[in-house]
Amino acid sequence: MLMCEQVSLDLGPNCILANVNLQVAAGESVCLVGPSGCGKTSLLRLAAGAVEVSSGHMKNHFRTTAAVFQEPRLLPWRRMLDNIALGLKARGVNRHERLARARTLADKVGLAGYDQHFPHELSGGMQQRVALARALAVDADFLLLDEPFSALDVGLRSEAQGLVQCLVVDQGIATLMVTHDLTEALRLAHRVVVLSGAPGTVVCEHRVSTPFAERTPAWLYEEAGHLLRQPVVQDSFLFHPDSEVA
């Protein structure tokens, strides 16, 4: 479990996050949304242990935490399987074993047959799937996802979202994911957490009880509409439906 209690983060003279309370339980998928600059990535960095809280308590009780970023961050001189196996090498797993595990994961993310390809020979969506497989290779029970699909076109994005949904539903991997896309959050999350800006703080938590299989596109847009009708959410996104457009 991840537990944030009254967490604040100052960077230089600026208060980036203030009194954030957030929990992610085992197997739970939580999506963070909020305006640009409100501290979503900073919160992921705190969860990853990359930065220390300025005040409050942050405890990550998951066994293994792995991260996937907006850019796949693959090693261009390494072939696809070696990129997936990177974390295993760092953990001292022998080459035969790590390639076998990487191949199993490549199959799982739909990349069978591309073992010997270099990153530049793969599409953006495929590269992002390699990054996901690399995170899974270390047997993570908690994934931090920082807008992992924002650079993908609509079709690839939907495919990648389906993959993450499978990880959550079939394998019970917990996720904390940052996205700008409310419909993406509603598709993938058990809970959507809305942050407001400057400094970032939680203004709304929305539990999504509709089963994943029933979250059709029509449902997603309707549910996003409901959420955006809440004044705190509108304020967070500076979205005022009744304001005049000049």
Ligand X SMILES: Nc1ncnc2c1ncn2[C@@H]1O[C@H](COP(=O)(O)OP(=O)(O)OP(=O)(O)O)[C@@H](O)[C@H]1O
Residue ranges that bind ligand X, judged by CB under 6 A: 11-12, 14, 16, 36-42
For the bound state, the minimum distance from the C-beta of residue 68 to ligand X, rounded and expressed in Å, comes to 15
**CB closer to ligand X out of 35 and 87:** 35
Concatenate the DSSP letters of all residues of 69-118 into one string.
-SS----TTS-HHHHHTHHHHHTT--HHHHHHHHHHHHHHTT-TT-TT--
Using CB atoms within 10 Å of the CB of residue 69, give its burial: 0 to 12 exposed, 13 to 18 middle, 19+ buried.
middle
For the bound state, the minimum distance from the C-beta of residue 55 to ligand X, rounded and expressed in Å, comes to 16
**CB closer to ligand X out of 38 and 176:** 38
Q: By C-alpha distance, which of 89, 67, 244 is closest to 140?
A: 67
**CB closer to ligand X out of 102 and 176:** 176
**CB closer to ligand X out of 35 and 72:** 35
Residue 59 and residue 62: Cα distance in Å, rounded? 9
For the bound state, the minimum distance from the C-beta of residue 36 to ligand X, rounded and expressed in Å, comes to 3
Cβ contact 237:196 at 8 Å = no
For the bound state, the minimum distance from the C-beta of residue 131 to ligand X, rounded and expressed in Å, comes to 18
